[in-house]
Amino acid sequence: MILFPAIDLKNGQCVRLEQGDMARATVFNLDPAAQARDFETQGFEYLHVVDLDGAFAGKPVNAQAVESMLKVIKMPVQLGGGIRDLKTVEAWLAKGIARVIIGTAAVRDPALVKEAAKKFPGKVAVGLDARDGKVAVEGWAETSTVTALEIAQRFEDAGVAAIIFTDIARDGLLKGINWDATIALADSISIPVIASGGLASIDDIKAMLEPRAAKLEGAISGRALYDGRIDPAEALKLIKRAA
């Protein structure tokens, strides 16, 4: 089970949003590379990064910040935001990103996900961000008409490494992960699922380690790590003990 610390990039800075709203951003660190190094020093083993500006622009925007992180840490990085074509997938993997996350294009262009997953086995994840059960796209600015399960099922045999499922209503609000919806999704597909959106306390870490969550690959934590609601040492010790 992996606890992924999250770095969300906006204007080259490390921020957290509330419910995906760019107008409700809190800056936590002006230096993303320093933040990434801190997370590695704390003992985390896998970093989750989102180029927020890229998600809205449809192409990478914070590439410089991402590259600066890759230079100072050894742990693998999964990256999402603005990855909408094979060329961008290839470019990021060539720069040392361990796994790319395709979100909007997974809804609009499923063939891209299948092609990328076939070409780069184990290197492509799908980001499904749901608002009232329906998947949102374009940096969460638009809501589609399909459910997360419907989209996840499209990729059952495509070789996708993971599905990252976010409940937008909870994201950045510290209300706790929507474990019921996340586990229901994981139980309905064979692709590993990563929980995201609202992780609030050590209770969420304990919930992630319960037997019913066994099919999950892990969870992503953002604001709770930044504001001290979760002690990294305590969380990682719990996970290690459960392993």
22 pLDDT above the threshold of 70? yes
pLDDT surpassing 90 at residue 71: yes
Rounded to the nearest integer, the mean pLDDT of the chain is: 94
H runs (alpha helix) in the chain? 32-41, 52-57, 63-72, 86-95, 104-108, 110-119, 148-154, 179-188, 202-208, 223-226, 232-242
For range 68-73, the mean pLDDT: 98
Does 29 score more than 70 pLDDT?
A: yes
pLDDT (tens digit per residue) in 191-229: 999 999 989 999 999 999 999 999 999 999 999 999 999
Give pLDDT, residue 104: 87
Global pTM value: 0.95
Tokens of residue 108, six digits: 């609009």
Kind of pairing, strands 21-29 and 77-80? unpaired
Q: State pLDDT tens for residues 32-67.
A: 999 999 999 999 999 999 999 999 999 999 999 999
Q: Please tell me whether residue 209 adopts helix, strand or coil conformation.
A: coil
Closest alpha carbon to 78 in 112, 45, 33: 45
Q: What is the DSSP letter of 19?
A: T
| pLDDT at residue 140, as a whole number | 65
**Residues known to be catalytic:** 8, 129
pLDDT at 172 over 80: no
Contacts 24+ apart (CB under 8 A), 62-71: 62/9, 62/10, 62/12, 64/12, 65/9, 65/12, 65/32, 65/33, 66/9, 66/32, 66/95, 66/97, 67/95, 68/32, 68/33, 69/7, 69/32, 69/33, 69/36, 70/95, 70/96, 70/97, 71/33
pLDDT bin (cut points 50, 70, 90) of residue 26 is very high
What does the alpha-carbon distance between residue 219 and residue 223 come to, in Å, rounded to a whole number? 13
Torsion angle, alpha carbons of 112, 56, 125, 94, to 10: 80
pLDDT on residue 3:
98
Q: Among residues 231, 242, 219, 150, which one has the least CA distance to residue 2?
A: 219
Phi-psi category of residue 135: left, alpha or beta, with phi > 0 → left and psi -120 to 50 → alpha: beta
Categorize the per-residue pLDDT at 139 as very low, low, confident or very high, splitting at 50, 70 and 90.
Answer: low
Going by C-alpha positions, the residue among 208, 136, 147, 156 that lies closest to residue 177 is: 208
